């Protein structure tokens, strides 16, 4: 049964990590439905998110190689070498600071269906409104992202610490309002996820190591493999989708899901 749960949660994570619907929120909700809510489950949710992030590294591996600060890469203009690393650092540091300070509070008080429903509704409204007021873009690809835009995305990413809001939604909307075109905002959201999720996983494993045992290894491995494969497919299709479709559909989905959760929780 535990392996089946790992597969289900892996699929949920892979499908939702890069969509603006909140993978953490979906994992919390599906975890409650499956009765998978203990401390091991909370760490499992973070670890399989790392597997989804590895899918980005795989798909964009050649681009990640350009981040290595070699003399050749440093000479290239735009999102390469030290400039790429500085850009990602500026985007990453706000969420890292807030996440580190409030880690225990977030995991203890916010990882529940009610707070997820609130986050889903707020994020859903933002996505719907956002589509009506998308500003004109100034950055048509990753090489045109400025440090000011990187900081704007980073500040927007802080909001996603609330489960249900969605890291992808906050960075895509934040990037778009900072002048990135739709595809660039989505791709930059992929890259920005890597350092944040690696840091979150490392911190969580460090604080939760005493709650884990060798018997958990098969569960984690199956979940990570499932998450990785599913995320690979989701990334490819989402990039195609955003070029010709509105993100408002995700906003309506989020609100509908949140209302369903509230109905179930409170029997309204």
pLDDT of amino acid 108: 81
Task: Specify the pLDDT at position 203.
Answer: 81
d(CA 158, CA 100): 12
Boundaries of domain holding 242: 2-266
Q: How far apart are CA 97 and CA 158, in angstroms?
A: 9
d(CA 50, CA 158): 18
Residue 268 pLDDT? 60
Report the C-alpha gap between 248 and 60 in whole angstroms: 27
pLDDT digits (tens, 9 = 90+) for 127-160: 999 988 877 777 788 999 999 999 999 999 999 9
pLDDT at position 212, please? 72
Whose CA is closest to 231, among 202, 190, 182, 201?
190
Is this structure's pTM higher than 0.85? yes
Torsion of CA 256, 131, 92, 210, to 10 degrees: 10
* Structure token digits, residue 67: 């981040």
Residue 90 CB partners (closer than 8 Å, separation 6+): 147, 150, 151, 154
Show pLDDT as tens, one digit a residue, over the chain (268 residues). 789 999 999 999 999 999 999 998 999 999 999 999 888 888 888 889 889 999 999 999 999 999 999 999 999 999 999 999 999 999 999 998 998 898 888 878 888 999 999 999 999 999 999 988 877 777 788 999 999 999 999 999 999 999 999 999 999 999 999 999 989 999 999 999 999 888 878 887 787 777 677 788 899 999 999 999 999 999 999 999 988 889 999 999 999 999 999 999 887 6
Q: How many domains does the chain have?
A: 1
Q: Measure the CA–CA gap between 182 and 36, rounded to whole angstroms.
A: 36
Mean pLDDT score of the chain: 91
């Amino acid at each position: 049964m535990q392996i089946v749960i790992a597969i289900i949660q892996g699929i949920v994570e892979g499908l939702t990590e890069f969509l603006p619907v909140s993978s953490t929120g979906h994992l919390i909700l599906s975890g409650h439905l499956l009765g998978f809510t203990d401390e091991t489950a909370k760490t499992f949710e973070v670890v399989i998110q790392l597997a989804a992030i590895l899918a980005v590294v795989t798909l964009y591996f050649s681009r990640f190689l350009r981040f290595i600060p070699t003399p050749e890469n440093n000479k290239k203009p735009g999102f390469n070498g030290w400039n790429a690393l500085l850009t990602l650092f500026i985007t990453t540091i706000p969420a890292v600071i807030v996440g580190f300070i409030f880690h225990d509070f977030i995991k203890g008080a916010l990882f529940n269906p009610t707070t997820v429903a609130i986050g889903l509704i707020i994020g859903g409204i933002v996505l719907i409104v956002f589509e009506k007021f998308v500003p004109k873009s100034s950055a048509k690809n990753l090489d045109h992202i400025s440090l000011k835009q990187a900081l704007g995305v980073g500040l927007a990413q802080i909001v996603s610490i609330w489960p249900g809001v969605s890291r992808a939604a906050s960075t895509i909307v934040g990037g778009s309002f900072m002048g990135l075109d739709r595809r660039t905002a989505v791709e930059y959201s992929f890259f920005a996820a890597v350092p944040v999720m690696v840091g979150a996983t490392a911190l969580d494993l460090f604080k939760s190591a005493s709650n884990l045992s060798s018997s958990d290894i098969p569960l984690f491995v199956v979940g990570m493999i499932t998450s990785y494969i599913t995320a690979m497919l989701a990334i490819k299709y989402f990039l195609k989708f955003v070029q010709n479709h509105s993100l408002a559909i995700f906003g309506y989905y989020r609100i509908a899901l949140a209302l369903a959760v509230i109905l179930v929780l409170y029997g309204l």
